[in-house]
């Protein structure tokens, strides 16, 4: 499967994803993943940012509200329609562009920073995507991204519960087996059945790497690793969203910030 075919599947997912996420059913994003990502982000006020794989623009808008001059790019036109509508309803100066992470339609050095929330593991040809991001960043600029945690998002995974039904472990396997576009079908588990039944499940092509492959690919591209995060819910998050308690037992997400060296940096 190539990036255009992947994009077509995402286009089909866009309506259900947007309706359910905007209704508050992407609870791992809202309660855990995005707050941790934003807490790890450096100051971005006044900087030119690209949000790669922006979807319907939820996180792009959060970045714009922090004062960044944002561009959102996605391969799926339907997601961008929803993003445009949100921009019209609440103008934040975000421009949305349809394109692919494999061929970013921007000149070299166009951005001070690039974010990719849960989108890089949805694109084929990761070395090429990293090379494109590197090119589009100015020297000294940074990339910060989130992905499903490669150590727990494996082809075989089963929750292990104790006698009281509490999640206590994850059985996993197939860690070294690379997925190259195999399609998984799923939906937001917390959405009520009545809402879920209005839509087909999402069809998501998966492109996996081991943890060391992700980090080595970044280093081989020329990036310097600056910060790594594995968000887990604190007490306040658990109180608000008890459903994410399992994310305190095994890691769901991996956050990485890397920097393109500045011209004057020593090597």
Ligand X SMILES: C[S@@+](CC[C@H](N)C(=O)[O-])C[C@H]1O[C@@H](n2cnc3c(N)ncnc32)[C@H](O)[C@@H]1O
The correct pick among 31, 123, 133, 136 for binding ligand X (CB under 6 A) is 123
DSSP state of 60: H
How many of the chain's residues bind ligand X (CB under 6 A)? 21
251 binds ligand X (CB under 6 A): no
- Report, in Å, the least distance between residue 53 CB and ligand X: 3
76 binds ligand X (CB under 6 A): yes
User: DSSP 3-state helix, strand, coil percentages of the chain (rounded to 5)?
Assistant: 35, 30, 35
The correct pick among 18, 71, 100, 152 for binding ligand X (CB under 6 A) is 100
- Report, in Å, the least distance between residue 156 CB and ligand X: 21
The correct pick among 58, 149, 232, 255 for binding ligand X (CB under 6 A) is 58
From residue 4 to residue 43, the character string flagging contacts with ligand X as x (rule: CB under 6 A) and all else as - is: --xx--x---------------------------------
- Residue from 16, 11, 8 nearest 201 by CA: 16
Asked if 18 and 40 touch (Cβ cutoff 8 Å), the reply is no
Report H helices in the chain: 3-22, 27-28, 34-40, 58-65, 77-89, 126-136, 193-196, 211-221, 235-240
The correct pick among 28, 117, 214, 252 for binding ligand X (CB under 6 A) is 117
Q: How far is CA 15 from CA 117, 129, 189, in A?
A: 19, 26, 17
Give the residues lining the site for ligand X (CB under 6 A). Answer: 3, 6-7, 10, 53-55, 58-59, 74-76, 79, 100-102, 117-119, 122-123
């Amino acid at each position: 499967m190539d990036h255009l075919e992947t994009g077509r599947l995402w286009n089909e997912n866009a309506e259900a994803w947007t309706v359910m996420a905007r209704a508050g059913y992407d609870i791992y994003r809202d309660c855990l993943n995005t707050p941790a990502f934003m807490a790890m982000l450096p100051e971005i006020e006044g900087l030119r940012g690209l949000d790669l794989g922006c979807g319907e623009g939820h996180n792009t808008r959060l970045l714009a509200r922090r004062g960044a001059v944002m561009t959102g790019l996605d391969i799926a036109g339907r997601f961008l329609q929803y993003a445009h509508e949100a921009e019209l309803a609440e103008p934040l100066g975000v421009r949305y562009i349809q394109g692919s992470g494999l061929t970013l339609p921007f000149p070299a050095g166009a951005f001070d920073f690039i974010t990719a929330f849960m989108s890089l593991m949805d694109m084929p040809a990761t070395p090429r995507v990293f090379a494109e991001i590197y090119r589009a960043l100015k020297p000294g600029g940074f990339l910060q991204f989130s992905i499903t945690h490669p150590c727990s998002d494996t082809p075989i995974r089963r929750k292990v519960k104790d006698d009281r039904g509490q999640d206590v472990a994850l059985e996993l396997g197939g860690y070294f087996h690379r997925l190259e576009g195999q399609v998984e079908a799923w939906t937001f588990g917390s959405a009520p059945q009545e809402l879920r039944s209005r839509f087909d499940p999402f069809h998501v092509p998966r492109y996996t790497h081991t943890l060391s492959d992700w980090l080595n690919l970044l280093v081989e591209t020329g990036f310097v690793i600056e910060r790594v995060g594995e968000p887990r819910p604190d007490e306040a998050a658990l109180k608000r969203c008890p459903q994410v308690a399992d994310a305190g037992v095994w890691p769901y997400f991996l956050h990485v910030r890397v920097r393109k060296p500045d011209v004057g940096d020593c090597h």
